[in-house]
Amino acid sequence: MTIVALDIDAQNTFTPLCEAELPIAGGDEIAAELNAQAALADLRVMSKDAHSPHAKWLCSCHAEQLRPTGLPDAPETWVAHAMVGSFGFELLAGLPKETEYDYCVWKGVSPELHPYGACYHDIAEKLSTGLIEWLHYRKADTLIVGGLATDYCVKATVLQLCRAEPQWRVIVNRAACRGIAAETIEQAWQEMAQAGAVLLDNAADIARYLRENPHG
């Protein structure tokens, strides 16, 4: 059994430390749980939003967000966030350095791309980031997921993983996630569960689950 922990977009840009970007309440509080779930795993993966100041989906203020752009792979407007080299781009305090992860995905580098899931660069899910192939290569069978935000990039990644390989056991650590809005967070939990993901409250519960279900 190869267990892989995935830190999805656990960046300052999605925390109250970056109020002008995309702050999520409690987003800066999940590093300890991400580290705890990683302690249960053999390998650790990181994804990061990595955006350009020339991105074509940019808007000037929060009130202008979520408007259609007409771009197939960046369908909605967003304020500037996770600009490469900025404080918002950096991982949360307490997480490893990028070079200490076993695999890394940088998302949305091209000005015309703004994907949510970590498995594909495009919305149509035709251009792989290599994550799915790497997981197969490393013979992963259990994936533990946490990060930001529950109702966007975490959900999208979990759904992609569930579709990619039905034999994978995809576990979502609720304590290692934070989301944007109560309604969409609840919807995200439901969609992930319906796709086959196992939702558990924290790393301690995950450890217990793995002991009781060692082979999935």
- Over 80: is that where the pLDDT of 216 sits? no
CATH class of 2-10+25-48+99-212: alpha beta
Q: Where does the pLDDT of residue 214 fall: very low under 50, low under 70, confident under 90, or very high at 90 and above?
A: confident
- Over 70: is that where the pLDDT of 146 sits? yes
- Over 80: is that where the pLDDT of 185 sits? yes
User: Where does the chain have alpha helices with state H?
Assistant: 31-38, 131-137, 155-164, 182-194, 203-212
How far is it, in rounded angstroms, from Cα 45 to Cα 205?
21
Cα-trace Rg, the chain: 16
Q: What is the pLDDT of residue 124?
A: 95
pLDDT single digits (tens) 106-121: 999 999 999 999 999 9
pLDDT single digits (tens) 66-89: 999 999 999 999 999 999 999 999
Select from 154, 112, 107, 157 the least CA-distant residue to 132: 157
pLDDT single digits (tens) 158-168: 999 999 999 99
How far is it, in rounded angstroms, from Cα 189 to Cα 196?
11
- The ranges assigned to domains in the chain are 2-10+25-48+99-212
Entry pTM: 0.97
Beta-carbon contacts of 149 under 8 Å, excluding residues fewer than 6 positions away, are: 9, 14, 22, 24, 27, 177, 178, 179, 180
pLDDT single digits (tens) 16-67: 999 999 999 999 999 999 999 999 999 999 999 999 999 999 999 999 999 9
Q: What is the pLDDT of residue 1?
A: 83
